[in-house]
Chain A
Amino acid sequence: MSYLPYIVAAWLFVVGLYGIVTSRNLIHLAVCLTVTQSSTYVLLLAIGYKHRATAPIFYGVPVGSRAVDPVVQALTLTDVVVSVTVVALILALTVDIHRDAKTVDPDEIEAFRG
């Protein structure tokens, strides 16, 4: 039970990868990438958590009371906003591919054949 957050993070990671591999639509693929990315947020915040601790905001709270780790929160919060722009870049690529290939199915796009 005390390892459940880490298990959920690992599960989200693998499920997101499964979605990317079996995707039939490039837009669906972009969203599965965000699922994978959010597993790292869950993992980071789970590492920084302390039992019976409060948020690391000391407005009205005496300094020195038990608080969770602020560094992982700092890393996660910038990442959340920046990941939107990365997904937007993938979606712009999708729109561009659709102009030429008239499809968004990765299995049917000639240039993706490996």
Chain B
Amino acid sequence: MNRRARIAVFAVAAAGLAALLVASVVDLPAFGHYQGAYGNQLNREAVAERHTTNVVTATVFDYRGFDTLGEEFILFAAVVGVTLLLRRHKDSEDHQEVLRKADDDRVRSDAIRIVGLLAMPALFLLGLWLVAFGLVTPGGGFQGGVLLAGSLFVVFLAAGFRPYAHLTPAHWADSAEGSGAAAFTLLGLGPLLAGAAYLHNFLGSGVRGTLESGGSMTLLNWATAVEVTAAMVLLFSEFLESYVLPSVRPLQ
């Protein structure tokens, strides 16, 4: 159907959808009067049971750990899809070929390189801190993982494509991502083989407020951080490669 017909059908459908949404929303409890029992119970019990002061991270990795397993595999599948689509370009099959053919776009400005040199370790440390203390204060594997990948990307911004490609070779990123996903699954599988439930917390609870809180949640946290970092680095590398290879450069 052509464009006008499509917009006309959408207008009718959107009016109906909007009416339905508004009608359903006014029956919800008013904003600020949360009435669920599950959330209140978690807030009361989680700190005593798991010794983690960050109840949200405890929910992500322990109480609703199965949902996180599903999300990890969405991440994994999407990155596999991107890799398959973008690596069909014939130049990008061999890592050495990529490095040889990429234009020499080394950054010449000293100021930018110095700022990058200082910023990259600082951001990397910040990312590690976010992941490590995710069970105590806001943070966790997901947030820290993206920040770690960003700190590696700063190398591209401050120095050029070749230093970045040397730092993040494709086979490392591939294996790190696979092992992160596998580690999460196997950490859940271990307790199953020992007779407890899948993803059961098998290391005890540790001391609350410190880095040892949470038991096996800490391991799941780090497995997630490794996987998210590697997935983001793979994404950035694939998109950058399809941009910097000379056969696809814009004509000057």
Contacts and interface: CB of A to CB of B under 8 A. Distances in A.
Classify the secondary structure of A's interface with B.
helix
A10 B55 contact: no
21 contacts: A3-B28, A3-B31, A5-B31, A9-B25, A14-B17, A14-B21, A17-B17, A21-B6, A51-B32, A55-B138, A56-B56, A57-B137, A59-B53, A59-B54, A59-B209, A63-B44, A67-B43, A69-B39, A82-B74, A85-B79, A89-B85
B68 interface: yes
A86 B78 contact: yes
Nearest to B146: A81
| Most chain A beta carbons < 10 A, residue from B10, B34, B64 | B34
B43 A74 contact: no
Contact of A95 (B31, B75, B86): B86
Classify the secondary structure of B's interface with A.
helix
A46 B82 CA distance: 33
Interface in B160-200: none
A41 interface: no
B48 interface: yes
A18 B7 CA distance: 9
B59 A3 contact: no
A47 B71 contact: no
A75 interface: yes
Given A6-B28, A57-B53, A59-B54, 8 more contacts: A10-B18, A14-B17, A50-B34, A67-B55, A71-B64, A78-B68, A82-B71, A92-B239
Given A71-B39, A88-B235, A63 B142 contact: no
B244 interface: no
Interface in B39-54: 39-40, 42-44, 46-48, 53-54
Contact of A92 (B7, B67, B75, B238): B238
A10 B102 CA distance: 46
Contacts of A77: 56, 60, 140, 142-143
A63 B48 contact: yes
Interface residues of B, number: 66
B242 interface: yes
B60 A74 contact: yes
Contacts of A14: 14, 17-18, 21
How many A residues are at the interface, by size bracket?
Answer: 35 or more
B235 A10 contact: no
A2 B32 contact: yes
B229 to A, nearest CB: 11
A69 B35 CA distance: 10
B1 interface: yes
A63 B47 contact: yes
A5 B145 CA distance: 30
Interface string A75-112: 10111111011101101110110000000000100000
Nearest to B133: A59
B227 to A, nearest CB: 11
